[in-house]
Amino acid sequence: MKMKKKAWSGRFKKETNRLVDEFNASISFDSRLYPYDIMGSIAHARALESAKILTKKEARRIEAALNAIEKEIDSGKFKFKTEAEDIHMAIEARLTEKIGPLGGKLHTGRSRNDQVALDMRLYIKDQIREIIHLLHELKRAVVVVAATHADCILPGYTHLQRAQPVLLAHHMLAYYEMLMRDSSRLVDCYGRADEMPLGAGALAGSPYNLNRKLVAKVLGFSRVTENSLDSVSDRDFVIEFLSVASIIMVHVSRLSEELIIWSSQEFAFVEFSDDFSTGSSIMPQKKNPDVAELGRGKSGRVFGNLMAVLTVMKGLPLAYNKDMQEDKEPLFDSIDTLKAILRVYPPMLKSMKVNRDKMYAATNAGFLNATDAADYLVKKGLPFRQAHEVAGRLVGY
């Protein structure tokens, strides 16, 4: 049987085992990187033209073919095959089908190692921009709840015990502050992802006079990477994003936990709208806060993805290793999970009913003004420690 020709098959005498093809392939999940791979390839073609490796006519022909391939993928006509291994080889194979041997010139001066690093950075930058926007919508929803119930009073809690009365607006705006810091962390993460790695080659750079700054400008990067080994061998920008995503999920989970408790009949502080609740298949009376529970539960999923990539990277020598293919599925899953949550939470919060009478009634039990009593005595000249003891005795009495 004739060997299926792969781009790297020159030194091999045997065809790759089918099981190896299936095990090795990443096309089933990295196909989502296609817009960035094509964008990077077009920019690389321009760099090759600038370096006199491609003529202007060849570069324009490659660019037109790549744009046509992107339209094929957009329309669903493009068929991804396991034999292609990954999105880079799938697009290159189709390019060669369309324009012949000229398609093989495009890979001059680059490796899949710097190619995938580029694609991932472009992808993360796009996703960060979108997630910052979604976080902004969640912050707006928190502000709507606060503004709509500006005079609503409820017990503030420590140790889940009633502590002091606070405004619901003040309580909700604590989450606004958390989400503001999350947005700030994403901006910082964006800045470190904003480096253009193409030109690093497999690990040792390129022998061609490629204008990396031109490529960076075309692709919207603020700067180029400085070390070729580092460019292809680290995924700290992925780890940093997953870390920020995990912190966001901590805040989402804490908010979810409070809303779940508040919606219980024991508290009855809030009630979720019917269109953001579910029922029971056996108990007709049930109204379950499943959206908030899933938001709380999916935090573990995002945390796990962070730990997965940390574990993949922790023992890798320089430079690229195939282990690094395992960075994509955790990243993609965390992004999908986070975006789904950030889309559903704003309308859930804005449609939530707040039972202000129940909240206020809860402040009338449990001696929530004991601290105010101690502070009153302090203002009358008693040292705080003595005032605290007096108030404590009054509570005990």
Residues 65 and 126: beta-carbon distance below 8 Å: no
Residue 380 DSSP one-character state = T
- Report which of 68, 94, 67 is spatially closest to residue 79, judged by C-alpha positions: 94
- Token pair in block for residue 165: 């009365």
Residues 128 and 186: beta-carbon distance below 8 Å: yes
Q: Given this model, what pLDDT does residue 8 score?
A: 67
Residues 203 and 209: beta-carbon distance below 8 Å: no
Instruction: Examine domains 15-105 and 112-362 and report if their fold is the same.
Output: no
C-alpha span between 227 and 195 (Å, rounded): 11
Cα dihedral 185, 310, 19, 14 in deg (nearest 10)? 100
Task: Annotate 301-330 with DSSP letters as a single string.
Answer: HHHHHHHHHHHHHTTPPSS--GGGGGGHHH
Q: Domain residues of the chain, as ranges?
A: 15-105, 112-362, 367-397
C-alpha span between 311 and 303 (Å, rounded): 12
Q: Tell me if residue 8 falls in helix, strand or coil.
A: coil
- Token pair in block for residue 126: 């796009």
Q: 15-105, superfamily in CATH?
A: Fumarase/aspartase (N-terminal domain) (1.10.275.10)
CATH (residue range 112-362): 1.20.200.10
pLDDT < 70 stretches in the chain: 1-4, 8
Q: Given this model, what pLDDT does residue 19 score?
A: 85
Print burial letters for 286-297: b (CB count within 10 Å at least 16), e (below 16).
Answer: eeebebbeebbe
Give the contacts of 158 (CB within 8 A, at least 6 positions apart). Answer: none
Rounded to 5°, the CA angle 327-16-98 comes to: 80
Q: Given this model, what pLDDT does residue 4 score?
A: 52
- State the pairing for strand pair 195-196/223-224: parallel
- Catalytic residue annotation: 159, 280
Q: Given this model, what pLDDT does residue 1 score?
A: 24
Q: Given this model, what pLDDT does residue 6 score?
A: 72
Question: Is-cis flag, bond preceding 319, omega within 30?
Answer: yes
Residues 168 and 152: beta-carbon distance below 8 Å: yes
* φ, ψ dihedrals at 165, nearest 5°: -70, 140
Q: What Cα–Cα distance (Å) separates residue 146 from each residue in 140, 150, 151?
A: 10, 6, 9
